[in-house]
Structure 1
Amino acid sequence: MEHYIIICNSTQHMLNADKILKQNDIKTELIPAPSEYGSVCSTAIKINAYNVDVAKKLLKDNSISLKGIYPYKIRKLEGIIDKIKEDLNDDLINVLKKVENGIELTEDDIVVILSSSGDKNLNSIFKAADEMRKAVVGDIVDIRAAIEFSNICRKNCFYCGLRRDNLSVERYRMDIDEIIQTAKELKKMGIRTVILQSGEDPWYTENKIIEIIKKIKKETNMRITLSIGERSYEEYKHFREAGANNFLLKIETTNREIFKNIHPDDDFDYRVKCSEWLRENGYVNGNGNIIGLPGQTARDIAKDILFFKDMGIHMVGIGPFVPATGTPLETYPHGDVEMTLKTVAATRLVLKNVFIPATTALATIDKDAQVKALMAGANTIMLISTPSKYRSRYKIYSNKNMVDLQTAYRAVIKAGRKMPPYINLEYIKDSE
């Protein structure tokens, strides 16, 4: 079925357009805007071709500002099987033929990818994902930086070292001035997106978070990603109005039983509802999963990937499970790096135009894993930029590897990729 995408000139016009179309019984799908249309709005509205004329009139009558309405291009990787030139198993060849012809992958297709083994099969998967990455987002690796401003959490998740009942953690909170000053230092490095990350700490009220957002915007004009957990619809709305651009709230797993087993005081449906609220408020919406949770299967992970697709997620964080001291899962083995890399690759092939970080958790298990992730479809690295006096206390998992600008630079160069032009390279030289 033929589709078109609507690109608006602002997030607010996009949200208004989506609302108007839905009110007139036009089925819409919010998807990450293809990179070739620029960055006027990160989200596009996808509609069936037979609704285009009616949609145009509705949007014109309601004064919606449009960049344009374009045919939805199916992403193909023509000739990818010839480039791989490997003797692959039949099931994987059939999946790669779908990728080659721009046919959407099914849950079973994703399971084939995730269940593949052997160097030839894995190399073909990573090569296809890397080609897709190159086609849709290019060779520049986006560099972002996280300020972990509080390790206090009201939740008691079984896998997380910050859990409420973990008495081995030395707790801290950064005050607002410390957070702003750290963001200003990141601005000097050239960082354009700061990630404000914490446990679910109720001390940081709606008003405090809004104050932080507004001060960072005023002092640096940086893009702001919030990663502060579950909040109300009104809070998400007010944070967005204050200037927050992105929000990262990971589902961790879409298997309800596993979710319940690792989240004793969370509700799966409420977590999904929060992601829907973020989408409705026009955030660049981040999500993600943990690979290697107890009881998890390849099919569970495939369902996760399709959930991200259905939710119109813009950024997917994929990391292996890493045990944390003082948690019920501290003796459980860490997640498999190979499965994590296969998940990165499958996510790139299915979701295509999204941000996929080469995560710190990967670097914690395997010092070369960030390079491997960049070569398997990832295109983002997040620096740990928490002030040194707090850094060692933010233990979501144990033995966390440090990822600074120098580490990121080495990974980017080793993967044959490019640093973004906005980074101040003097900071890399100074750290050598």
Structure 2
Amino acid sequence: MDKIINIIDELYEKSNLPDEKLVFLLEKLDDKSRDYLINKAYQVRKKNYGDTVYFRGLIEISNICKWNCQYCGIQSSNKKVERYRLNEKEILDSCHKGYLLGYRTFVLQGGEDSYFTDDILESIIVKLKEKYEDIAVTLSLGERGYDSFKRLYNAGADRYLLRHETINEDLYKKLHPKMELKNRVKSLENLKEIGYQVGSGFLIGLPGLEMKDYAKDLIFLKKLEPHMVGIGPFIPHKDTSLKDEKGGTAYDTITLLAIIRLLLPDVLLPATTALGTIDPQGREKGFRAGANVIMPNLSPYECRSKYTLYDGKKFSNNESAEEKEKIIKSVIEAGFKPILTRGDNIKWKRK
């Protein structure tokens, strides 16, 4: 017990661990030492971001995707999905409604839909930035070339989310047919070089992975030093080849949130919808373990049930204003302070 506490203290003090100690921590953590870990993570969160929870307005702009990722409900081979795509006006209208509700960050997320060319995305970003001077625009639209990333950044995009999903190359190849992990890693490096606030992250509970395997994901993130990290449990989807696999747990997800907070003290760290899906109190537990971001859905109501990356997705058909107030209430009741500003990473400055 003393050894594991000493390792947690070292991680708390140095924001890093030798590889072998990180593996030991993941393998030997018990409930009591995990409580200690979570408390230390909360201390770091409080030091850097206080008790704030940053709100992002999430707009799922398309569930059309050219790839066939085996864990994903909107994979290209799934013929049961009712596909949709928002046009420019629908996207701008969704952002406007969100702006009137107080949101100052908008996350445009979707599958890798070839419809969204640089011309179309540039037009959307420019119009948003010209109309609303105090907002941040986040993109989460998969891999693109360097020149595309650069053009969208120059148009005004501030952040880009691109999870690496797993740094295990063999598993990555198995789960991502015709895709290469090296391309994902290069995209992340390009995004950081260009000047984005960069987000990466991984899935917890993918078939065949053990807790010790996440050490490699954590080491990769520490080397990358992203501004944001999004992790969440793998939840099987009924129309994929992994439908009968066991999913990830809230327990492991929250443990890894705490470790990430200690490894990357300044990081923006969401408590994801997936975590809230498998545990009704998952997001609140995530905040107490170091998470400090939440992303309520601003997508048109008729689209929300169609953007099903996994089964049982937690979404609401409430009016956005009603949903926002409900989430704000839950954040306050958990002891945190909801904030609707841009909420940038504390160390990021636009180039």
The alignment's TM-score, normalised by the length of structure 2, stands at 0.92
The one of 287, 297, 305 aligned to 2:218? 305
Matched residue of 2:296: which SS? strand
Check if 1:180 corresponds to 2:99: no
Could you tell me which amino acid in structure 2 is paired with residue 273 of structure 1?
A: K
Where does residue 347 of structure 2 map in the other structure?
Answer: none
Cα distance change of structure 1 residues 131 and 112 upon mapping to structure 2, 3 Å threshold: farther
Percent sequence identity is 39
Give runs of aligned pairs for residues 271-290 of structure 1, distance below 5 A. 271-290=184-203
Paired with 1:413 and 1:274, the residues of 2 have a C-alpha distance of 37
Check if 1:262 corresponds to 2:145: no
Where does residue 243 of structure 1 map in the other structure?
Answer: 156
Cα distance change of structure 1 residues 103 and 322 upon mapping to structure 2, 3 Å threshold: closer
Paired with 1:361 and 1:282, the residues of 2 have a C-alpha distance of 29
The one of 106, 122, 125 aligned to 1:213? 125
Where does residue 112 of structure 1 map in the other structure?
Answer: 24
Matched residue of 2:170: which SS? helix
Could you tell me which amino acid in structure 2 is paired with residue 183 of structure 1?
A: C
Where does residue 147 of structure 2 map in the other structure?
Answer: 234
Where does residue 200 of structure 1 map in the other structure?
Answer: 112
Could you tell me which amino acid in structure 2 is paired with residue 175 of structure 1?
A: N
Give runs of aligned pairs for residues 7-86 of structure 1, distance below 5 A. none
- 1:422 Cα deviation after fit: 4.6
- 1:421 Cα deviation after fit: 6.2
Check if 1:413 corresponds to 2:326: no
Could you tell me which amino acid in structure 2 is paired with residue 349 of structure 1?
A: L
**Where in structure 1 are there 5+ consecutive unaligned residues?**
1-88, 424-432
Paired with 1:197 and 1:292, the residues of 2 have a C-alpha distance of 23
Check if 1:402 corresponds to 2:321: no
- 1:406 Cα deviation after fit: 3.4
Per-residue CA deviation, residues 315-363 of structure 1 (Å, 9 max, x unaligned), is 0001000111211111112101111111100000111110000000001
Deviating more after overlay: 278-287 vs 396-405: 396-405
Say whether the 8 Å CA contact 1:370–1:411 is kept in structure 2: no
Where does residue 149 of structure 1 map in the other structure?
Answer: 61
- 1:219 Cα deviation after fit: 2.3
- 1:116 Cα deviation after fit: 4.2
Say whether the 8 Å CA contact 1:345–1:376 is kept in structure 2: yes
The alignment's TM-score, normalised by the length of structure 1, stands at 0.75
Check if 1:360 corresponds to 2:279: no
Paired with 2:340 and 2:90, the residues of 1 have a C-alpha distance of 28
Point out the structure with max Rg over C-alpha: 1
**Where in structure 2 are there 5+ consecutive unaligned residues?**
317-322, 343-351
Per-residue CA deviation, residues 135-176 of structure 1 (Å, 9 max, x unaligned), is 122111111011001000000000000100001100001110
Per-residue CA deviation, residues 378-399 of structure 1 (Å, 9 max, x unaligned), is 0111111111011110011111
Where does residue 16 of structure 1 map in the other structure?
Answer: none
Cα distance change of structure 1 residues 384 and 188 upon mapping to structure 2, 3 Å threshold: same
Paired with 1:206 and 1:181, the residues of 2 have a C-alpha distance of 20
Per-residue CA deviation, residues 238-267 of structure 1 (Å, 9 max, x unaligned), is 000000000000000101111111101211
Cα distance change of structure 1 residues 239 and 158 upon mapping to structure 2, 3 Å threshold: same
Where does residue 381 of structure 1 map in the other structure?
Answer: 294
The one of 78, 84, 93 aligned to 2:5? 93
Query: RMSD over aligned Cα, in angstroms?
Result: 1.6
